[in-house]
Structure 1
Amino acid sequence: MLDKTDDISVAADNWLVQFEDALASPDDVLLKPLFHPDSHWRDVLALSWNIQTVNRAFAILEELPAHALRSTPHNFRIDADRAPPRRVVRAGTNAIEAIFKFETSVGRGHGIVRLIPDTTDDNSLKAWTLLTALEELKGFEEQQGHTRPRGQAYSRDFRGPNWLDLRKASAEYTDRDPDVLVVGGGQAGLAIAARLKQLGIDTLIVDREARVGDNWRKRYHALTLHNQVQVNHMPYMPFPPNWPVYIPKDKLANWFEAYVDAMELNFWTGTEFAGGSYDDAHGHWNVELRRADGTTRKMQPRHVVLATGVSGIPNLPEIPGLTNFSGKVMHSSRYEDGEDWSGKRALVIGTGNSGHDIAQDLHSSGAGVTLVQRSSTLITNIEPSAQLSYAAYNEGSLEDNDLIASSMPLALAKRSHVLITEQSKELDKTLLDGLARVGFRLDFGDGGTGWQFKYLTRGGGYYFNVGCSDLVADGAIKLAQFADIETFVPEGARLKSGETLTADLIVLATGYRPQEELVRKLFGEAIAARVGPIWGFGDGQELRNMYTRTPQPGLWFIAGSLAQCRINSQYLALQIKAIEAGLLPRDVGPVAKFT
């Protein structure tokens, strides 16, 4: 039983001491009193080499000792360089929260423990949540700070190649293939490539766009990020302190270009990944790349990382009668600017972020716009409601907040977002009532879990209001329900009432196809079937096939917001490094090979 004390630092330190002793014990007698009956343990590679969550004390007591026996965690102590132990409210529960560090047989890690009283055991403080996360591998630490490379200035070769010569030669790959091929040069691809670079893994990014950053630069004219700058930093290079709260797309695109140069990332623009097959016998891929000049290059990387976003293929649903329409039809991914449509009429089909933003852009350009709703949609004002889930990032260090974000098990994250959603509904009541009055169909996510879990399960279905919802509620942008459309005719959409919504332009803001369809296109049916669903949770506690080994050896996935990519790129890179160093099996298995 943990001694009672009013000193939260002493309480946290006492728990860690007893936890380390219990892990070294051959049975769970010492471990059992340390966990609250309703407890959660999330391990991110540190003890299990998996990203996994175990719920309830009895399940933790079954699984944790076996992992501890293999990984030999030790030297647990409060991290003096992090936020000190403190009292917090997480998911509506008061707890003592402490950040600690520790070691295993192969690495060093950080973690968070949250202690709450167990009312069934004389209010003894016990672990409610526990995070154990791998930070670095012993002997394979990142090259930065006091370990940064010295470069040519220390020992110059005046007759040999200089830095620029070496960079160009490295990026050309004339005499070698990369260890890792990253497909996609957005935030996901840049983040994982930067992490791998720091671990000494030869990595090449390929992207079909002509210029680094074009995957943001070529989006619609008015786009800015919907979450705030303090959440969105890239690994190793935080944004300058004078940057705006909401980053414009072109500013972010230009930063990506500078990031590639500053981090010395090998990047081939104008290069399409045509597909590949896996050589099980030799443990590498056979892939083909198509260059902008029409040439092809075959490569044999040991790892392929798909960093093409949550969804890469535009969803173009079969809409009966749409081919009858005589005007312009485009998917939202092809929309750029509303100026060409001034004085004309447009139908925007879809009421997620893209649909609303495009409708507002067209309206501001002088077009007559009707927003067509296909399904109920979550609406939340961009401030303050949409930022409530990022409140922790308004104070404290980025490193602490990233660790806190990693520490929340799924069940408690859902509970937290239910509370946030209820708060948002109160803050946004006037807007939501106005939308309901004009017939807009609202929802608040599965079980009231809000926009974050809509994103994590389906990649959309919500809108951060930056003014379009007000225009809809006021009638400045018209609203129609897709279910009320009977068919499309040359001049627009004919409603079941007999009325015709005339249009010169129809924008299909209908989202994207699931990522597994891209896998099927690039690698074939067999590999797609082996990998299975990507993104979302299914029956598990973690995103499916994301940031971790998949059933297909050598195939990895990274996607999500800038924050998700920043956080999880570290863990993905550590796994690839561990495989290359012989510490981790290439195939997914029940345990890792600890040495």
Structure 2
Amino acid sequence: MDYYKEVEGKRVHDHRFGKNTMSTLARCIWVPCPVIIGAGPSGLAVAACLKERGIPSLILEKANCIASLWKLKTYDRLRLHLPKQFCELPFMPFPANFPTYPTKTQFVAYLESYKNSFGLDPVFNKTVVSAEFDDQCGFWRIKTLGLKQEETEYVSQWLIVATGENADEVVPRIDGMDDFGGPILHTSSYKSGLLFRGKDVLVVGCGNSGMEVSLDLCNSNARPSLVVRDSVHVLPQEMLGKSTFGLSMWLLKWFPVRLVDRFLLLVSRFMLGDTEKFGLHRPEFGPLELKNRSGKTPVLDVGTLAKIKSGNIKVCLGIKRITHRAVEFVDGKKENFDAIILATGYKSNVPQWLK
């Protein structure tokens, strides 16, 4: 029996599909190869690896382009924080003339070239709303919505989720946010500090994005303040002439995590000084152990710490509440700001649709 017809028959008689579900799909497509969700670096890499083994695939992407996070939701000055050799995709190194830390534009160009080199052709503007394994027929049923809310179901034996950890913005609710008289934006909407020249800007979040946005604001003649609510590891981007990441990976081949952490912190103290003096308190666990335990990534300093030491970037404690033009902090201090930028990260949306 033709499987497409079998699927349609099940849909008509299956009580699980009522009037208000996707039983009224305009299209139901049988896919005789793996379906990959996400056309970012991971999705492209998986598709290329499959193709090298003679296995085709179908890539579904909710945006209108590949690498949508990099293209649409990153700031202009962004570079890879790790050396290019640690970020290249399978079978294709970065161009030799690219710098050690490629720019955002260079990385996107590399991904476009990768897609074209392997002849990958993602299906864009397809938002997955549900992916569920059907035990009765033994296949995945992947339901999507298009730009005009048209419904399509893809049916396949194999499903590969490559949407990454940074799908949806994390926007915290802070008391008084709705009363603030200036703009409040997530870093996904931030492009350049030039728009904030001469303004007092509060950056909420002290991860790599928060640190780098604060530096960008400072270099654009804005007056940034940085909210550091939790402890944080700040490491130099390079140690002993090598990238900190590369050196760490090499040391882990020979030594346990805690010993490598001690080495990293010792060298960091020598190169950066005591960050505690500037309101940047280190966590209880070392940077690598903390990453293993909680997934929290250490900050690789690209110049922000020097601006904090000089007083050009002020460090603030957690926020208690926001008023029309001011922010009150948990230590009782209150300061006026023209804008607030939320460097509060992203989260995966997979639990919302993967059944």
Q: Structure 1 residues 314 and 300, CA, compared in 2 at 3 Å: closer, same or farther? A: same
Match for 1:368: what amino acid? R
Q: Structure 1 residues 210 and 356, CA, compared in 2 at 3 Å: closer, same or farther? A: same
1:387 corresponding residue in structure 2: 243
Instruction: Work out whether residues 337 and 361 of structure 1, in 8 Å CA contact, stay in contact via their aligned partners in 2.
Output: yes
Partner of 1:266: helix, strand, or coil? coil
Find out whether 1:195 has 2:49 as its counterpart. Answer: yes
Q: Structure 1 residues 417 and 334, CA, compared in 2 at 3 Å: closer, same or farther? A: farther
Partner of 1:288: helix, strand, or coil? strand
Find out whether 1:480 has 2:320 as its counterpart. Answer: no
Distance 2:248 2:294 in 1: 25
Q: What is the Cα deviation at residue 293 of structure 1?
A: 5.5
Partner of 1:357: helix, strand, or coil? helix
1:419 corresponding residue in structure 2: 259
Find out whether 1:331 has 2:186 as its counterpart. Answer: yes
**Which consecutive residues of structure 2, in runs of 5 or more, have no partner in the other structure?**
1-26
Find out whether 1:204 has 2:91 as its counterpart. Answer: no
Aligned-residue sequence identity (percent) comes to: 27
1:436 corresponding residue in structure 2: 276
Q: Structure 1 residues 455 and 254, CA, compared in 2 at 3 Å: closer, same or farther? A: farther
**Which consecutive residues of structure 1, in runs of 5 or more, have no partner in the other structure?**
1-172, 394-404, 528-595
Distance 1:505 1:199 in 2: 51
Q: CA RMSD in A?
A: 2.7
Partner of 1:192: helix, strand, or coil? helix
Match for 1:433: what amino acid? G
Q: Structure 2 residue aligned with 1:286, among 130, 141, 144? A: 141
Distance 1:192 1:288 in 2: 21
Q: How does 1:541-556 map to 2 (within 5 A)?
A: none
Q: Structure 1 residues 283 and 270, CA, compared in 2 at 3 Å: closer, same or farther? A: same
Instruction: Work out whether residues 491 and 502 of structure 1, in 8 Å CA contact, stay in contact via their aligned partners in 2.
Output: yes
Find out whether 1:184 has 2:38 as its counterpart. Answer: yes
Instruction: Work out whether residues 235 and 300 of structure 2, in 8 Å CA contact, stay in contact via their aligned partners in 1.
Output: yes
Q: Structure 1 residues 459 and 358, CA, compared in 2 at 3 Å: closer, same or farther? A: farther
Find out whether 1:376 has 2:231 as its counterpart. Answer: yes
Structure 1 residue ranges (4+ consecutive) displaced by more than 4 angstroms after TM superposition: 173-176, 412-415
Q: What is the Cα deviation at residue 498 of structure 1?
A: 4.8
Q: How does 1:508-547 map to 2 (within 5 A)?
A: 508-513=342-347, 515=348, 518-523=349-354, 527=355
Partner of 2:169: helix, strand, or coil? coil
Q: What is the Cα deviation at residue 453 of structure 1?
A: 4.4
List per-residue Cα deviations over 1:421-450 (Å, max 9, x = no partner): 32222322255435322222123x63x2x2
Q: Structure 1 residues 298 and 497, CA, compared in 2 at 3 Å: closer, same or farther? A: closer
Q: What is the Cα deviation at residue 221 of structure 1?
A: 0.9
1:100 corresponding residue in structure 2: none
Q: Structure 1 residues 458 and 209, CA, compared in 2 at 3 Å: closer, same or farther? A: farther
Q: Structure 1 residues 459 and 313, CA, compared in 2 at 3 Å: closer, same or farther? A: farther
Q: How does 1:66-215 map to 2 (within 5 A)?
A: 176-215=30-69
1:216 corresponding residue in structure 2: 70
Find out whether 1:470 has 2:306 as its counterpart. Answer: yes
Number of equivalent positions: 327
Partner of 1:268: helix, strand, or coil? coil
Distance 1:213 1:250 in 2: 12
List per-residue Cα deviations over 1:241-300 (Å, max 9, x = no partner): 222100111111111111111111231223222223221121212222233465432210
Q: What is the Cα deviation at residue 331 of structure 1?
A: 2.0
Instruction: Work out whether residues 213 and 252 of structure 1, in 8 Å CA contact, stay in contact via their aligned partners in 2.
Output: no
Instruction: Work out whether residues 28 and 153 of structure 2, in 8 Å CA contact, stay in contact via their aligned partners in 1.
Output: no
